[in-house]
Structure 1
Amino acid sequence: MTTIRTDRRRILLINGHPDPHPDRLCSALATAYGEGAEAAGHTVRRIEVGGLSLAPITSQAAFMSAPDPEVAEIQAAVREADHLVMIYPLWLGAPPAVFKAFLEQVFRYGLALAAPGEAKGVKGLLGGRSARVVVTMGMPGFIFRLVFFAHGLKCVSRGLLWISGVRPVREMALGPAESPSPAQRLRWIARMRRLGAAAI
């Protein structure tokens, strides 16, 4: 049973699918989560990665440089959030290139981690926040975990969020998602709406 939080949370909802069309499963899951959260009184800000045009980082100098205004605005939204929700499809075993470019641009030193020399060892800067990472895929979720060790999920949940100080980071692997039955799609959407209401 999902327990609905009584405290009001600021949620940043990120749809990482390169195609933001509302018929896409990732978009439908994001909408359901947002609707559940807003109905429960939480504040939701949504970002459609497919509607942005962020280039991949191609050098250390670029990664260390100050972000452009569009990226800086997204970083401000991350800082303001209590809870992060990232939803994306698994493409060739990993996040889509467009979503990866978004992560590279946004989660730079100064937001996610302290820059080298500013702290002893690795210092995450996003403590005090929780997150949920949802990945859709063509294979069953248990195959993704047992055979492929969920690498396309762990690279975001642990390789980015956990190391940045986010706790807890909850994970979901939904599949096969290319042509789920109408009943299965409705179950996933209903579950996301409940999770949104609980802000977890």
Structure 2
Amino acid sequence: MKSLLILDGHPDPADRHLCHALACAYGKGASDAGHRTTLIRIADIDFPILRTPSDFTSQPSPQALGPAHDALIEADHLVLIYPLWLGSLPAYTKGFLEQLLHYDTAFERSESDRWPKGKMRGKSARIVLTAGMPALAYNIWYRAHSLKNLKRNILGFVGFKPVKSTVLGMVEHADDDQINRWLAKMESLGQGAN
């Protein structure tokens, strides 16, 4: 049994979004398999955006992110589900990650080390990205640049390994059968906690 943190990264709290349904399906599969799950909807949390480097390195994480912080520390596996906006994470979702992976949370402090060491070693992650374009176009033509950045330069940098990903494309044109297949896929991934 694993402890999972599922981050629903759609910044709009309206329930009609596919990301919300995908997060719930993943959580259902994980819970049905006996895993401990925490689902956090980023859209439901009000927090300040970091504006200076010293905010990241020396200010405490916002109190509103306390439950997410605790769930991250406890989690064996992180799941982040978000829509592709302007080729990357929505700004609010990126801002949430900057606050959640605050310096003291994500890195070991040491005066002798010039290069920070990530504290998330031993944890795995899955990223689920939804896009209006075909998944193949995002992966090949656009080279999945923002996904690679998130995998390597953010999650991998703080120690998550492995970081797996799923890209769901053409979401605005998906019919009910396609959506049900995606939900079943998320439920299956949740059961395996991967």
Distance 2:7 2:192 in 1: 17
Distance 2:159 2:101 in 1: 12
Distance 1:98 1:28 in 2: 19
| 1:145 positional shift | 0.9
Q: Which residue among 89, 96, 109 is the counterpart of 1:95?
A: 89
| Matched residue, 2:177 | 183
| 1:127 positional shift | 0.5
Distance 2:145 2:48 in 1: 23
| 1:20 positional shift | 2.8
Query: Residue type of the partner of 1:181?
Result: D
Where do residues 127-166 of structure 1 align in structure 2 (5 Å cutoff)? 127-166=121-160
Distance 1:158 1:167 in 2: 10
Distance 2:20 2:191 in 1: 17
Does the CA-based 8 Å contact 1:110-1:125 persist in structure 2? no
The alignment status of 1:62 with 2:94, answered yes or no, reads no
Distance 1:128 1:118 in 2: 23
Query: Residue type of the partner of 1:108?
Result: H
Q: Deviation digits for residues 1-57 of structure 1, max 9, x if unmatched?
A: xxxxxxx01000000001133321001100100000100111110100011112221
% identity of equivalent residues:
39
Q: SS of the residue aligned with 2:125?
A: strand
| 1:115 positional shift | 4.4
Distance 1:116 1:17 in 2: 35
The alignment status of 1:78 with 2:72, answered yes or no, reads yes
| 1:114 positional shift | 2.9
Distance 1:104 1:120 in 2: 21
Distance 2:103 2:147 in 1: 22
How many residue pairs match? The answer is 193
The alignment status of 1:16 with 2:6, answered yes or no, reads no
The alignment status of 1:45 with 2:13, answered yes or no, reads no
| 1:102 positional shift | 0.2
Unaligned runs of 5+ in 1: 1-7
Distance 1:131 1:115 in 2: 23
Q: SS of the residue aligned with 1:111?
A: helix
| Matched residue, 1:31 | 24
